Structure 1
Amino acid sequence: MSLVVTKAHTKMDSTKYQELLAKYLKGECTEAEQLLLEQWYESLDSEVELPNQNEKKKLLAHNWEVLASQTVRSAPLRKWYQQPYWAAAAAIIIALGLGWLLLKPAPSAISTFKQQLTSLETPLVEHTNTSSKNEQITLADGSRVTLHPQSRLSYPKDFVGTKREVILEGEAFFEVQKNPQKPFLVYSNHLTTKVLGTSFLVKAYAHDKNTTVAVRTGKVSVYATKSVLSTAESAKDANPEAVVLTPNQQVTYVETENKLVKTLVEKPAILIPLEETPSFAFQKAPLSTIIAAFEKTYGIDIVYDEALMSHCLITTTLEQENLYDNLTIICKLLNASYEVVDTQVVIKGAGCQ
C-alpha cells in the first residue's frame, strides 16, 4: 500500500507535482513553479494527522522518495551524453538527504558534551557500573566519584586546559579536590554543575524526567544544560543564569515544567564536627534556643514569629540524625506546623500564653 498522502482538495495532484519535480531537478523551474512546488510539499505536513512527530517525519520522507523515484522512471530515456546524469543522482540525493534530515534525531546534550570532550588531546574514558553495588572511581586530579549501579561516567584520562570536565549518565556522589584555577564541571542531560572543590550528589538517569543536584559540603553553581549549550554555541562570554547551592540544599530540573526548583535535601546532614554539636536535651528551653541548635547543626534557616512564640518553653530530648523528625516533635509540643519554603523552614503557630 502506498504511503504517499493525497486529499481531494489538494491544490496540485501528484502527476503535476512529478512534472514540476522533473523540471526542478533539471533547473528549468520558474520562480513561481518552484514556490508552488515547495508550498505543495509543505502542505503535506499539515494535511496528515499522525499519532506522533516521528511518524509524520517518516511519512514525509517517504513521499519524497516515492515521488522522486517515479519522476526519474517516467522521464524519457536519453543517452548519458544527451542528458546530464546528475539529474537522476540529484533525485536520489534529495530523497535520501531529506529523509535523513527529517528522520535524524536531534543530538542529545550528552552526545554533544562527549563530542566536545573527545576533541581534546587526552583520551576519553567511559566507565559503566553494571553491578548492583556502588563503585569507586579516582580521577586524575585525585577527586573521587561514587558511581551508583546502572550509571556511566565519561571523563578524560588527564585533565588538560583550564577546566576539569566529566559527563554523568545516572547517579553519582562526587568528592572534588579543590583547585580554584581549574573548576570542576559535571555535565548531565538536564543540568550542568560547576564547583571548585566540594561534595555533592547528581541524579540524572535517562529515563527520569527530573534531574537533581544535592550539595553535602561547599558551594556549587548549577545551570540548565540547554542554557550552557546555547551560551557555548553563541560564543558569549557571560555565563548563563545559575542557581547557587550551599550544604543541605538541592535543585531539581523539572522537565514537564521546564524549570529549576530549589529546595532542601530530603535528609539534611549534620554539617559540624560531632564534638561541636550542641546538646539536643532541652529542659524548659525557649524555642529560640532550640532553633539556634538546629540552625547550627544543619546550616538551615528556620523562620518563626519570635514575638508570638517568645514565651514558649520546651522540655524534650531529641535525636540529632533527622531534622524533620525533630521539627515534627517540636511542632506537636507547640500545636504548630512547619513547611519547607524554598531553602528555609517556616514554623507557624498560635504561640504560647
Structure 2
Amino acid sequence: MKNYMSYTLEDFVDDQDFIDWVQGRSDSNDFWPSYAKRFPDKAEVMKQAEQIIRTAQVHTDKVGKREIRLEVEQFLHSARNMKIVNSEVKVFTKTMLSFPNLMRASAIAAVIVFIIGLTWYLLPIEDGNFENSISEVMQNSLAQAKNDTDKPLRVVLNDNSIVVLSPQSSLSYPSVFSGSDRKVYLHGEASFSVTHRSSPFMVYTGEMVTKVMGTRFVVRSFDHDQKISVQVQSGKVSVYSTKPSISANAMEKNGVILTANQAAFFEKDKHQISKTLVANPILVNKDNKSVNFYYDEVPLPVIIRELEKGYGIPIQFDEQSFQGCRITATFSRETLFEKLDLLCKTVSATYEIVDGQIAINGSGCSSL
C-alpha cells in the first residue's frame, strides 16, 4: 500500500495514477485535489511534479535509454571540464532518469532537448554565473497542458492562478513566471482565475491579447471559429489586437477595456474588436436586494440603479423622464434581460446593448 504521507517528488512523478490525473486521463479526479487539502505540506512538491510531467509532454520519435544516458554523460563531462558541476543539475538528471514511467518517448525527448540546450547555453559561462543560468533556462522553458479528453482539465500555474481547459484545448506556459509579466499561450477555450500580482497576466490567442492584473474570465479561440471571444466574470480586462484594424473607420480603437459581464469579440478577417455583454450576465454583488425583492409602487429609476449595481453593468436612461413610473413587481430567479423585458414592457420602453452598456429608450411616465 502506498504511503502517501511521505510522498517525495520522485514518488509523484513515478506514480502512474498521478500522471494520468495531471494529463486528464484519470477516473479518480477527486483523489489528488483532496490529497492536497489533507497534506498541505506536500502542495509545493506536488506542483513541481505536475510541472515536470507537463514539461515532458513533447511528442517526437522514440529514443532509447542508451541514447539519453549518452547525452547525460556528455553533458556531465562538459560540466566537469568547466568545473561547474552543480548539485541542482545532478539532482535533476538523476531524478529524471530514475522515473521508469517517464522513460517514454515524450519524457526522453524532453530531457534530451533540455540537456542539449543547457550544454550549449553553459559553454561560455563562468563559474559564478552557473546557478543563475540554470534558473534562467528553467524559467524560460514552456510547459504544455493539453486536454484530449471530453471533460474540463484543471491546471494550476506557478503563481497559483487556475486555468480550466475545455476539451480539445491546450495551454503553453512557463514552468516558473519571471520578469515583468506573466505570458501564456492558449489554443482553444479556457476559463482563467488569475492571482492578483503587480506583474500583468497576458493570454495570447492568435492575433489577440488579453491582459489582466488578477481576475476571472473566459477566452475562446478555436481555429474553426471566425471570432475570438473574451467574457469577463469579475475584475477588469484589457483586450487588444497585435495587428491594427483594417477597417476604414480611422476612429476605431485597437483595443477595449472590459469589466464584469462584458465581452469582446475579435473578428479574425478584419482584425477588429467589438465590445458587448455576455449572453447571460450574473450578479456580481449578491448582497444587493435586487436578487430577490418585492417592489411596491417604487420609482423605476430606483430599480434600474439597483440592477446596475447588482450586475455591474452601466445602464443609460433619462432618469427624469422615468421618475414618474411606479413599479410593483417581485424579482427572484429571472435573468437580467428577463427583468429588463418586464420593466420596459410595463412602461412602454425598449432597451438595446451598445458598446457593453444597456440603453433604455422611451417617453417615460407623467408624474402624479
Common fold by TM > 0.5 = yes
Q: Which residue of 1 aligns with 2:335?
A: 322
- Residues 143 and 317 (structure 1 numbering): CA distance in 2 closer, same or farther, change over 3 Å? same
Q: CA deviation at 1:194?
A: 1.0
Which residue of 168, 173, 186 maps to 1:150?
168
Q: Which residue of 2 aligns with 1:84?
A: none
Which residue of 233, 243, 262 maps to 1:226?
243
Q: Which residue of 1 aligns with 2:218?
A: 201
Q: Which residue of 2 aligns with 1:186?
A: 203
Q: Are the aligned partners of 2:351 and 2:359 in contact in 1 as well (CA < 8 Å)?
A: yes
Q: Which letter maps to 1:255?
A: K
**Matched residues in 2 for 1:129 and 1:183: separation?**
25
Q: CA deviation at 1:350?
A: 2.6
Q: Which letter maps to 1:142?
A: N
SS in 1 for 2:341: helix
Q: Which residue of 2 aligns with 1:176?
A: 194
**Matched residues in 1 for 2:268 and 2:200: separation?**
27
Which residue of 268, 275, 287 maps to 2:287?
275
Q: Which letter maps to 1:275?
A: D
Deviations 1:94-148 (A, max 9, x none): xxxxxxxxxxxxxxxxxxxxxxxx9885321111111111111100110000111
Q: Which letter maps to 1:308?
A: S
Q: Are the aligned partners of 2:170 and 2:187 in contact in 1 as well (CA < 8 Å)?
A: yes
Q: CA deviation at 1:241?
A: 4.6
Q: CA deviation at 1:347?
A: 1.1
Which residue of 325, 328, 335 maps to 2:348?
335
Deviations 1:2-48 (A, max 9, x none): xxxxxxxxxxxxxxxxxxxxxxxxxxxxxxxxxxxxxxxxxxxxxxx
Q: CA deviation at 1:214?
A: 1.3
Q: Which letter maps to 1:347?
A: I
Q: CA deviation at 1:320?
A: 4.8
Identity fraction in percent: 41
SS in 1 for 2:287: helix
Number of equivalent positions: 223
Q: Which residue of 2 aligns with 1:75?
A: none
SS in 2 for 1:347: strand
SS in 2 for 1:297: helix
Give matches, 1:52-63, under 5 Å: none
SS in 1 for 2:140: coil
TM-score relative to the length of structure 2:
0.57
**Matched residues in 1 for 2:139 and 2:345: separation?**
61
- 2:256 is the alignment partner of 1:243: yes
- 2:358 is the alignment partner of 1:345: yes
SS in 2 for 1:271: coil
**Matched residues in 2 for 1:168 and 1:351: separation?**
47
SS in 1 for 2:151: coil
SS in 2 for 1:275: coil
Q: Which residue of 1 aligns with 2:270?
A: 257
- Residues 226 and 120 (structure 1 numbering): CA distance in 2 closer, same or farther, change over 3 Å? farther
The list of structure 1 runs, each at least 4 consecutive aligned residues, that deviate by more than 6 angstroms after superposition, is: none
Gap regions ≥5 residues in structure 2: 1-135, 245-252
Q: Are the aligned partners of 1:187 and 1:225 in contact in 2 as well (CA < 8 Å)?
A: no
Q: Which residue of 1 aligns with 2:310?
A: 297
SS in 2 for 1:226: coil
Q: Are the aligned partners of 2:139 and 2:177 in contact in 1 as well (CA < 8 Å)?
A: no
Over aligned residue pairs, what C-alpha RMSD do you find?
2.2
- 2:169 is the alignment partner of 1:166: no
TM-score relative to the length of structure 1:
0.59
Q: CA deviation at 1:352?
A: 2.2
- 2:153 is the alignment partner of 1:130: no
**Matched residues in 2 for 1:184 and 1:257: separation?**
26
